[in-house]
Amino acid sequence: MPTSLLPNDILNICGETLKIHGYWLASGILGVAASTMIRAVHAGADAVVTKSLGSSPRKGHAGPVLTASHGGLLNAIGLTNPGIDAFEDEMKLLNKAKIPVIMSVFGNTPKEIAHIVEKAVKMKPSAIELNLSCPHAEISQISHSPDLTYKYVKSAKEIADVPVFAKLTPNASDYVSVGKAAQEAGADAIVAINTVRGMRIDIHQQQPILGNMVGGLSGPSIFPIAVRCVYDLYKTLSIPIIGVGGVSSWEDAVEMHLAGARAIQIGTAVMNDIDVFSKIKNGVSRYIEESGLNSVDDIIGAGVKS
C-alpha cells in the first residue's frame, strides 16, 4: 500500500500556511467516549473530531431523534452532550494515546464561546472546531449570518493558541459570504458542511417522524451538496477547506479533493463500516499512484481550475 503518497501530519504549519491533511472522524458520530474515538484511529482515522461540547450538560431533543432516509440519516439529536468539564477525563485518555483530537465546541453568545474555548485549550487539543451550524438547535442561526459568524470566530481566535476551524451550514443562502466573514475573523480553516435541514412524515401516523419535527440529513444523499459547497468556498477563500458530507468511498474522497478539500471528515459512513477510513486511504493512494502524481496535494482543487 503506497501510504507515503498521503502526508502523515494532519496539521502542519509551513511558514504562514496551515497545511491540513487526512481523513478524520466527523463530529458527533461516535459520541464523546475516548474508547470509541481510539477505535476509529485504530481503524485508520488520522484524527477525531469530538461531539460538540457546550458549557453545561444538555439533554437534547425528545425522541425519536434519528431515522434512516434515502440512503442516509435524518437526525435531530439536539446537541446532547455532557458539558465541556465532563470531557476532561476522556481528553486525558486521548492525549495519553497520542490521538490527534479536534475539539468541537458551541456557545450561545460570543462571550460564552470564549469561555468554552478557554477551557478547551487547557485540555491540549490539536485544534478547535466551532460548530456554528447545527440545523436543529438554537445555534443554527449563527452561520446564516456573516456578522454573527465574524463575532464568534473572532472571540474564539482571541483566546485559542491552536488552529480554529469554522463549521458552516449548507442551509444558508449565502454561505460564501459567511465563509468570507470567518476568514476575515481569523479562522484557520473552514469545515463544510454540517447536515442539510430536512423532515420526514410517517404516512400511517400522519405525523412527523422526529420528535423535533425537523432534523439534519447526512450520508450519501447530501454528497453533491457538499461538493458544491466545498467548490464555492475553495474558489473564493484562501484558507484551507475541510470537506465533509456524504463521503463513503475512495471515489467520493477523490472527488471532494478535486473540488478543493484538503482534509476530509467522514461521518455517517462510519456507522456502517468503521474500516471506511483505511479503505478510502488505500483507494486514494492507488488513484494518485496510477495517475502518475506525487501526492494528494496534486489533486486538491484540480477538478475546478477554470
Ligand X SMILES: Cc1cc2nc3c(=O)[nH]c(=O)nc-3n(C[C@H](O)[C@H](O)[C@H](O)COP(=O)(O)O)c2cc1C
Question: Catalytic residue among 25, 120, 134, 164, which?
Answer: 134
Phi, psi of 250 (to 5 degrees): -65, -30
| Ordered alpha helix ranges (H), 58-134 | 88-96, 110-122
Phi, psi of 52 (to 5 degrees): -65, 130
Sign of the CA dihedral 188, 100, 102, 263? positive
Nearer to ligand X, 61 or 180 (CB): 61
Q: How far is the CB of 165 from ligand X (least distance, A)?
A: 10
- Contacting positions for ligand X (CB under 6 A): 26-29, 51-52, 73, 75, 77, 79, 104, 131, 134, 167, 194-195, 218-219, 222, 244-247, 266-269
Report d(CA 90, CA 174) in Å as an integer. 37
Nearer to ligand X, 159 or 225 (CB): 225
Phi, psi of 11 (to 5 degrees): -135, 120
Q: How far is the CB of 206 from ligand X (least distance, A)?
A: 26
Q: How far is the CB of 192 from ligand X (least distance, A)?
A: 9
Residue nearest to ligand X (CB): 28
Active site residue 134: yes
Nearer to ligand X, 52 or 69 (CB): 52
Please, are residues 187 and 166 in contact by the beta-carbon 8 Å criterion?
A: yes
Please, are residues 168 and 133 in contact by the beta-carbon 8 Å criterion?
A: yes
Type of residue found at 299:
I
Q: How far is the CB of 232 from ligand X (least distance, A)?
A: 17
Residues marked as catalytic: 134
